C-alpha cells in the first residue's frame, strides 16, 4: 500500500510540474511514468512470488525477498496465495495503465492536430 501511495504521489507531482511548465503531453507522460512504476512493482512481486515457490529458501517458511514487495505486501498474513494474488493484480493494473496510456496518447495527438493551423487556408 505504501508503494501505491508513493507511486501516485510521484505521478501527481510530475503531472503538476509538467502542467506548470506548459507541456503538451502531460497526461500521457504521467501515465507512462505510472506504467514504469507499475512494471517495477510487477518485477518485485513476481520475483517475490516465484522465490517463495522454491522450498527451503526461507528456512521452510515464507519471506519477502525484496523491498518493493515489502512496500506493497507489508508484514501481515504472508501466504503463497497472497503473494500470487498481489502479483496477478499488479499485472492487471499494469495492463490497464498501458491501455490508458495508449488512449491518452491518441487523445493528445488528436488534440494537437486539431490545434495545428490548417494548410488549406
How many Cβ atoms are within 10 Å of 60's Cβ, its own excluded? 7
Tens digit of each residue's pLDDT (9 = 90 or more) over 68-116: 999 888 888 888 899 999 999 999 999 999 999 999 999 988 887 777 6
69 and 44 in contact (C-beta within 8 Å)?
Answer: yes
Residue 117: pLDDT over 80? no
Q: How far apart are CA 44 and CA 47, in angstroms?
A: 5
How many Å separate Cα 70 from the centre of its chain? 16
Write out the three cell numbers for 107: 487523445
Which carries the bigger pLDDT value, residue 65 or residue 91?
91
Tens digit of each residue's pLDDT (9 = 90 or more) over 9-62: 888 898 899 889 988 888 899 999 999 999 999 999 999 999 988 877 767 678
Amino acid at each position: 500500500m505504501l508503494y501505491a501511495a508513493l507511486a501516485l504521489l510521484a505521478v501527481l507531482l510530475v503531472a503538476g510540474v509538467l502542467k506548470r511548465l506548459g507541456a503538451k503531453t502531460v497526461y500521457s507522460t504521467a501515465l507512462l511514468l505510472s506504467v514504469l512504476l507499475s512494471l517495477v512493482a510487477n518485477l518485485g512481486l513476481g520475483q517475490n512470488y516465484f522465490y517463495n515457490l522454491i522450498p527451503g529458501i526461507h528456512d521452510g517458511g515464507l519471506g519477502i525477498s525484496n523491498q518493493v514487495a515489502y512496500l506493497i505486501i507489508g508484514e501481515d498474513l504472508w501466504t503463497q496465495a497472497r503473494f500470487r494474488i498481489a502479483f496477478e493484480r499488479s499485472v492487471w493494473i499494469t495492463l490497464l495503465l498501458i491501455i490508458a496510456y495508449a488512449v491518452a496518447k491518441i487523445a493528445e495527438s488528436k488534440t494537437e492536430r486539431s490545434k495545428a493551423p490548417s494548410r488549406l487556408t
